[in-house]
Amino acid sequence: MGLRGAGVVCALIAGLLPMSSATAAARTAGEPLPLERLFDNTAVSADTRPAEADFDGHGASLSATDLAAAGWRPGGALTVQGARLTWPDRAAGEPDNVVADGQDVRVHGRGDALALLVAGTTGTEVSGSGTVAYANGTRTPYTLAAPDWRTGPLATKALALPHINTPDGRLTEKPRLYVVTVPLATDREVTSVRLPRAAGLHVFAMSVRTTGRGWTGSWATATGGYTAVGPWTDRTLRLVVHTSAGGPRVRVRFDNTFAATPVRIGSATVAVQASGATPRSAPVPLSFGGATGTEIPAGAQMFSDPLGFPVPPDTNLLISFHLPGTVTTAPVHRLAQQRSYLSDPGDHTADGSATPYTSALTNWPLLAGVDVSGGPGSVVLLGDSITDGDKSTVDANRRWPNVLASRLLAQDEVPRYGVLNQGISGNRIIADRYPGDGVSTDTAGVHALNRFDRDVLAQPSVRTAVVFEGVNDVRWGATSEQVIEGLRLLADRGHARGLRMLAATIVPCEGETRCTAAVDAERVEVNAWIRDAGVFDGVLDFDAAVRDPAHPSRMLPVYDSGDHLHPGDAGLAALAESVDLRMLVP
């Protein structure tokens, strides 16, 4: 460190320089500093001393009490969108974030994305451009956009709190915090990041996302909502999931997306299923940072430690986890098409018998992913109820993503990618069904554009994404132009991250109540654009695969489940069999 830089740091420690002066001096010296050394704004106040913080320039701030109730504690680790971040280790009333003004921040790592915990305070989204510096001397530009902490979308927030503190009293209004990511050059080591110059853009934390390196997604599901459950007190859930790729080591991802409170997992195990809730052999304990259990903050995720456990491909696993406290609400994927199990009271994660598991579940609460070590990476399928497997045979794994995974495993022409099913029944491209906050009975999820970062970009080692949505949009009044614009944005966002982006045409649904002739005309227009526009890297023509040639607005009866909207097992297999596997290769 040069004398000038040392003087800046000493002045900071002694409190002799205001933070903005120190920031300017450090920037002039060309010496990146850790983010916490650059903090020049105070966002968090104690409820009894709200005047000690002024996040927005008008005296408003976040409540330290509310943050603690959400599990966001000073110095606490947070994993959001697959990136490990640390909430500032500062007491209420101390500087805890930096207003982006071109500061150079010291940060190290090699990964696919830079993750930043941010919020804007201008009343609208605020954005600016910065650069990433690499160890080989190169730089890449990026653009960072931060939604406003009071008006930004709830559907994409990492956390919403119940109150805002002001010197004049508490406001019952939901402040929001966001995690946004920007792409990195994956073949280079990051050494520093220059923040944008953007008044009102606040940065609390940043890190290089490395969680996907060396892992292939084998199974995943998308959180569709935050619903009432149980209540469960001192219960063990034994969830059944079906793998695609196999590997010698495993890790499991739990997800507290959309939640307002933390959830405690007391212990967890993994086993290969024999039948029902019975494992083939003794369940093997999972750990979390070396501990048997963990707490997942509201809005965050938790990965288990890597475990030496051979995961067979194309096989059912039992993921068991004990909830020692009382859980009344949880993030869920509603349509599992798979029976899972709930125990009598007690920690039964290690049980080799099905006897304690006396109740069945038809959804997947809290569990979001199973990854295996090594492998070629993953293909993500972003879809609605047809991808989710609605009307497929329960417990049979006959969803079209399962059939596609089996095809990949049975050949040697292309890599045997993991196949991640991110279908949500009822989901749309351009309209949220679940608003993204609060307890709801609607589990059709936030729309595809709002969940793209979490459900596609944050998946481990994703290579290719397939978008198969749109029928719910046109059935509920969206025009073909609106759907096309949504598809175009999805393609652009995937391409910006280096993904191969494929689109599937919308299958016919005449005979279903909402599939009128007018709706079919919109569907046909969307399909024509998908086939001809060249925006996507390839087209999976699912419409052609299942339509009746003599009546193109209907499915062939042999493929129809009977409701004229969802293919049955034969139709889902036809979709998967129609895919040219070579199209999945970037």
Quote the pLDDT of residue 466. 98
pTM, two decimals, is 0.94
Quote the pLDDT of residue 82. 96
Q: Is the pLDDT of residue 14 over 90?
A: no
Taking a C-beta distance cutoff of 8 angstroms, is the pair 30, 133 a contact?
Answer: no
- Written as one letter, the residue type at 469 is E
Residue boundaries of the structural domains of the chain: 1-31, 33-209, 216-372, 376-586
Quote the pLDDT of residue 211. 84
Return all residues near 247 (Cβ < 8 A) that are at least 6 apart.
216, 218, 310, 311, 372, 373, 374, 375
pLDDT tens, residue by residue, 257-280: 999 999 999 999 999 999 999 999
> If pLDDT is split at 50, 70 and 90, which confidence band does 30 have?
low
Q: For tokens 């599992």, what's the residue?
A: 336
CA dist 49 and 422 (Å) reads 45
- The CATH fold assigned to 376-586 is Rossmann fold (3.40.50)
Name the more confident of 333 and 13. Answer: 333
Strand partners, 68: none
Query: Poorest-confidence range of 10-24, 129-143, 405-419, 427-441?
Result: 10-24
% of the chain surpassing 90 pLDDT: 94
**Reduced 3-state DSSP string for 211-233:** CCCCEEEEEECCCCEEEEEEEEE
How large is the average pLDDT for residues 350-376? Answer: 98
Quote the pLDDT of residue 278. 98
pLDDT tens, residue by residue, 193-203: 999 999 999 99
How large is the average pLDDT for residues 70-91? Answer: 97
> If pLDDT is split at 50, 70 and 90, which confidence band does 312 have?
very high
Quote the pLDDT of residue 25. 41
Quote the pLDDT of residue 19. 43
Q: How far is CA 165 from the centre of its chain?
A: 29
Q: Is the pLDDT of residue 2 over 80?
A: no
Q: Is the pLDDT of residue 99 over 90?
A: yes
Q: Is the pLDDT of residue 9 over 50?
A: no
pLDDT tens, residue by residue, 467-478: 999 999 999 999
Q: Is the pLDDT of residue 557 over 50?
A: yes
pLDDT tens, residue by residue, 211-244: 888 999 999 999 999 999 999 999 999 999 999 9
Quick one: which H or E segment has residue 404? helix 400-409
Q: Is the pLDDT of residue 459 over 90?
A: yes
- Written as one letter, the residue type at 13 is I
Residue environment code for 323-352, b if the CB has 16+ CB neighbours within 10 A, otherwise e: bbeebebbbbbbbbbbebbbbeeebbbbbe
CA dist 491 and 469 (Å) reads 13
On average, the pLDDT of the chain sits at 95
Sign of CA dihedral 525, 530, 534, 536: positive
First to last CA, the chain: 44
Q: Is 487 helix (H, G, I), strand (E, B) or coil?
A: helix
Q: Is the pLDDT of residue 23 over 70?
A: no
Asked, as a colleague might, if the bond just before 34 is cis with ω within 30 of 0, I would say no
Quote the pLDDT of residue 16. 32
How large is the average pLDDT for residues 405-418? Answer: 98
Residue environment code for 235-256, b if the CB has 16+ CB neighbours within 10 A, otherwise e: bbbbbbbbbbbbbebbbbbbbb
